[in-house]
């Protein structure tokens, strides 16, 4: 059963509340879904493209990065500061507090198609933002004013070909399937980043009958966000494509990570497909897993999985499904962001956000769960 609520307040469009409760074996209780239509604007710019989100507990605000590519249709590269009113009934309201452009070190706009912000993480000292991009440098550090502090392209091993010609190169990242996620561990000691799909030399993208071996990279990080040594590379197997259509596009990939300890991660996989002819209607299967890298084989320094002796003995990152969004909503949309939120009755809350891709058939959706059973401790 669903109920529809209208809000006349700033920005905040239509709230959609779905049936509360647990799915089988999830351990997390779903509270509700809240939606802001794609035609929403803020400061005369389309509000959307939300591909990463991070909660600042001290200020009780959320920073959310847009994947705008500095084009007329999408606007400049940017991130938003949001205020999300959430309680034991779910999300009541989402206010857009500010919008800041992400700029280079001189404070100038990035060039068109030079950035595609996909994830962000608040630094341990809460003063800066680490963010990943599918275009150009895979990892950057910016101030809360949006100005670039440092570029960490040189931290990614050469065989990823990050920032290179991905379409023609025989090895490295695949075009459109590059660095999609980032997270800083609660201890403030490490930052993880990961691409959406396998390196070309490691294996294929997911198919209906096979998984894709995605690499997760683990770095040391300082309080101000300065990224240090690469200490681990681990293989996470993205699920096979769960559903296909006859209309052409069917995929599955690693969309986001959220650290719950130095070794445990929440990982969201996003599978998308054409719901009709053309590129004007998509639907999605979204699943979130509890993953553990502590027993996984560390393949740091290995250029190719196929070059590893006895690769059949490699231990991948373990995973256990926590959430299948199909249990809670008929239209999860393109969920690409997740973060913790405030305690609800003393229990952790977990928020998800979808990327509307600036498309009229999609929406900016917010979902909230509460951890009644201590699954995320």
The predicted structure's pLDDT at residue 21? 59
The predicted structure's pLDDT at residue 23? 55
The pLDDT tens digits of the residues spanning 105-159 come to 999 999 998 999 999 999 999 999 999 999 999 999 999 999 999 999 999 999 9
**Radius of gyration of the chain, Cα coordinates, nearest whole angstrom:** 19
Find all residues with CB under 8 Å of 157, minimum gap 6, and list them. 230, 233, 301, 303
Q: Which two tokens stand for residue 15?
A: 């709230």
The predicted structure's pLDDT at residue 25? 58
The predicted structure's pLDDT at residue 22? 54
The predicted structure's pLDDT at residue 17? 36
Angstrom distance (rounded) from CA 75 to CA 262: 36
The predicted structure's pLDDT at residue 240? 96
On average, the pLDDT of the chain sits at 91
Angstrom distance (rounded) from CA 70 to CA 76: 4
The predicted structure's pLDDT at residue 281? 78
The predicted structure's pLDDT at residue 3? 33
pTM: 0.93
The predicted structure's pLDDT at residue 249? 78
CA torsion sign, 202 to 203 to 204 to 209? negative
The predicted structure's pLDDT at residue 16? 35
CA angle 93, 142, 121 (to 5 degrees): 50
Ranges under pLDDT 70 in the chain? 1-26, 279
Report which of 144, 159, 158, 220 is spatially closest to residue 189, judged by C-alpha positions.
220
**Beta carbons of 306 and 202 less than 8 angstroms apart:** yes
């Amino acid at each position: 059963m669903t109920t529809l609520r209208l809000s006349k307040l700033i920005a905040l469009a239509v709230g959609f509340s779905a049936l509360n409760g647990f799915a089988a074996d999830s351990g997390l209780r779903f509270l509700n879904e809240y939606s802001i239509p794609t035609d929403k604007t803020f400061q005369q710019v389309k509000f959307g493209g939300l591909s990463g989100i991070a909660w600042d507990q001290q200020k009780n605000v959320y920073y959310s990065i847009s994947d705008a590519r500095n084009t007329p249709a999408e606007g400049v590269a940017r991130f938003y500061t949001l205020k999300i009113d959430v309680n034991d009934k779910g999300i009541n309201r989402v206010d857009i507090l500010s919008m800041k452009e992400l700029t280079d070190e001189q404070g100038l706009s990035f060039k068109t198609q030079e950035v595609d912000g996909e994830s962000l993480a608040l630094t341990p000292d809460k003063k800066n933002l680490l963010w990943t991009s599918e275009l150009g440098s895979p990892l950057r550090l910016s101030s809360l004013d949006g100005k670039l502090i440092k570029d960490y392209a040189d931290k990614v091993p050469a065989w990823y070909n990050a920032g290179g010609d991905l379409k023609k190169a025989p090895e490295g990242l695949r075009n459109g399937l590059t660095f999609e996620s980032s997270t800083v561990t609660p201890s403030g000691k490490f930052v993880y980043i990961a691409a959406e799909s396998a390196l070309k030399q490691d294996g294929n993208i997911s198919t209906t009958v096979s998984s894709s071996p995605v690499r997760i990279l683990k770095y040391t990080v300082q309080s101000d966000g300065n990224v240090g040594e690469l200490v681990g590379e681990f293989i996470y197997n993205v699920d096979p494509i769960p559903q296909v259509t006859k209309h052409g596009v069917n995929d599955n990939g690693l969309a986001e990570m959220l650290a719950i300890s130095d070794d445990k991660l929440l990982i969201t996989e996003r599978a998308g497909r054409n719901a009709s002819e053309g590129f004007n209607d998509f639907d999605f299967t979204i699943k979130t897993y509890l993953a553990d890298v502590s027993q996984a084989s560390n393949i740091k320094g290995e250029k190719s999985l196929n070059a590893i002796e006895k690769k059949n003995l490699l231990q991948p990152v373990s995973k256990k499904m926590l959430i299948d969004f199909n249990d809670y909503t008929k239209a999860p949309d393109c969920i690409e962001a997740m973060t913790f939120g405030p305690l609800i009755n003393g229990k952790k809350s977990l928020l998800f956000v979808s990327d509307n891709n600036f498309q009229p058939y999609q929406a900016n959706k917010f979902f909230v769960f509460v951890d009644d059973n201590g699954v995320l401790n």
